[in-house]
Copies of this chain bind each other. A is one copy, B any other.
Amino acid sequence: MNVPPVCYSHKRNRITDSPISYFMKMALENPHLISLAAGLVDEGSLPAAAIARATDSILGNPATAKAALQYGTTQGNASLRDRVLRHICAMDGVTPEAINLSANDVVLTTGSQQLLYLVGEILLDPGDIVITEAPSYFVYHSLLQTMDVRVLTVPMDGEGMDLQALEERLHHLEKTGQLDRLKLIYTVDYFQNPTGLSLSTPRRQKLVELAKRYSTKHRILILEDAAYRELRFEGPDLPSIKRYDETNEFVISSYTFSKPCAPGLKIGYGLMPQELVGPIVDLKGSHDFGSSNFSQVIIERLMQTGEYHQHVEELAKTYRRKRDAMLAALQSNFSDWPEVRWTTPAGGLYVWLSFPESINTGPEGTLVGKGVEEGVLYVPGEFGHVAVEGNVPTNEARLSYGVVTVDRIPEAIRRLRRAADQLGLSPQPLESAHQPELVG
């Protein structure tokens, strides 16, 4: 019998396989690879002992055990919402009241990704416009594609999103009568995924001013993805963009415990204008009516005992060592090739590497395959760009020192250089493409 086809929704027909799947498959099929592509976190520093203490304490007491294993609320654990609010405000050096925030303006989600999805669903209709940085977080671009949204981009420089270019964008949208479709400006403002760059303090304030100025008939909201903020390992913290939204009307800030604590718990949170909370929570009621309550109670406990803060401090040192190892390896392997450049992140998990334009780092190029042959994997920079507007650079790569152990980083970068040398475009290829592996 011929079975008739499943008739999918229009949305399903816009959903594509994540580019990440390709790399997971590559890594599985090539176990000798050192992956600088995986978005995973450092494993040696995962706070297993602190979490074990928290679960023992929670489950050892009948009252807290019941509260943790029962359903929670859709908006999330009230005590944890209060703690994260005070935590973020303390980093910003303000009281919650000073920026018109309370724990009622906080929603806990299944990682910050779920918040990005919920915000998209309540705001975006097909054909609406979202502005992102170029490049930007590629999973967010997939999400926008699913929602049939038009993505416009703004270039970045060493201070993050180029606000001059943003203003020209806004002005052009206004002049051409398209401003009413612009709903959101999305920025990963701390140690951006994928570039490692941060938005400078003067631009933070200016970004809020721009959103306000162009909100003539409807509100243009800023979605601040601050996932990496706490992973700073040098220099002073920067105030959040939310810090400059003193009436709590223009900025939604998204944070996560996946990067600074443990992705296995899968809890993120958002601080947002009060009027968005109802729509977000009502929609989340249809999604799942609440993220893992047990995870929330564990994290609440870690914040209460102070172990969360101690952990973040230690973790930043771990990532600093890894970043240092990666920068040193890049320096020793690529310093003879001045057209190869890379960023120097002050936090987070990513270094952004630019080859000369003659080297194609993309999935259709030769470098990625030579990399696999040599035993190293990176994320092609193309994945961070959207193709709708003009040319997409094909000579960039995202290198992550998240999950790779520090002792493997020098070898990973040596392999990358050997792979690049095989294209015959480097100034002075290393003598042998198959030097013995020196470490781990």
Q: Which of A353-406 contact B (CB under 8 A)?
A: 403
**B-chain residues with CB within 8 Å of residue A171 when the two chains form the complex:** none
A7 touches B263 (CB 8 A): no
Contact B114 A263 (CB under 8 A): no
Residue A139 CB within 8 A of the other chain: yes
Segment from A91-99, A291-299, A429-437 that makes contact with B: A291-299
Please encode chain A, from 205 to 247, with 1 for each CB lying within 8 Å of some chain B CB and 0 for all others.
0000000000111110100000000000000000000000001
Do B285 and A287 touch across chains, with their CB atoms under 8 A apart? no
Question: Which B residues lie within 8 Å of A291 (CB)?
Answer: 110, 266, 292
When each residue 60-98 of chain A gets 1 if its CB lies under 8 Å from chain B and 0 otherwise, what string results?
A: 101001101111110000000000000000000000000
CA distance A265 to B403 in the complex (A): 26
Q: Is A328 an interface residue (CB 8 A)?
A: no
The verdict on A125 contacting chain B, using a C-beta distance below 8 Å, is: yes
Once bound together, how far apart are the Cα atoms of A285 and B69, in whole Å?
Answer: 26
- Distance from A142 Cβ to chain B, minimum over Cβ atoms (Å): 6
**Which range holds the interface residue count of chain A?**
35 or more
**A146 contacts partner chain B, Cβ-Cβ < 8 Å:** yes
B283, A146: Cβ atoms closer than 8 Å: yes
Cβ–Cβ contact B43 & A66, under 8 A: yes
Asked if A55 lies at the interface with its beta carbon under 8 angstroms from chain B, I say yes
Q: Smallest CB-CB separation from A74: which chain B residue?
A: B18
- Residues in B neighbouring A10, C-beta threshold 8 A: 125
A117 touches B287 (CB 8 A): yes
Q: Is A425 close to B, CB under 8 A?
A: no
Beta-carbon contact of A218 and B6 below 8 Å: yes
Which stretch from A154-162, A195-203, A273-281, A333-341 is at the chain B interface? A273-281
Contact indicator A9/B59 (Cβ below 8 Å): no
Residue A122 lies at the interface, judged by CB distance under 8 Å to chain B: yes
Bound complex: CA of A71 vs CA of B400, how far in Å? 15
Task: Kindly name the residue among A47, A128, A216, A263 whose own CB sees the greatest number of chain B CB atoms within 10 A.
Answer: A263
A12 and B122: CB pair below 8 A? yes
Residues in B neighbouring A273, C-beta threshold 8 A? 6
| A287/B122 contact (C-beta < 8 A), A265-B292, A279-B8, A297-B264 known | no
**Bound-complex Cα distance A10 to B121 (A):** 9
Say yes or no: is A412 at the interface (Cβ < 8 Å to chain B): no
Name, among A123, A124, A264, the residue most crowded by chain B CB atoms within 10 Å (CB to CB): A264
Nearest CB on B from A179, distance (A): 11
Check if A37 is an interface residue, CB within 8 A of chain B: no
In chain A, positions 109-166 with a C-beta closer than 8 Å to chain B are: 109-111, 113-114, 117, 121-125, 128, 139, 142-143, 146
Q: Does A40 contact B (CB under 8 A)?
A: yes
| Interface CB pairs A-B, < 8 A, 11 | A3-B219, A11-B122, A41-B70, A48-B59, A51-B69, A55-B56, A70-B262, A114-B287, A142-B286, A262-B294, A264-B293
A residues near B, CB below 8 A? Answer: 3-12, 15-18, 20, 24, 39-41, 43, 46-49, 51-52, 55-56, 59-60, 62, 65-66, 68-73, 109-111, 113-114, 117, 121-125, 128, 139, 142-143, 146, 180, 183, 215-219, 221, 247, 249, 258, 262-266, 273, 275-276, 278-279, 282-283, 285-295, 297, 403
A-B pairs with the 9 shortest C-beta distances? Answer: A48-B65, A69-B264, A7-B218, A52-B59, A264-B294, A12-B122, A264-B293, A69-B262, A292-B292
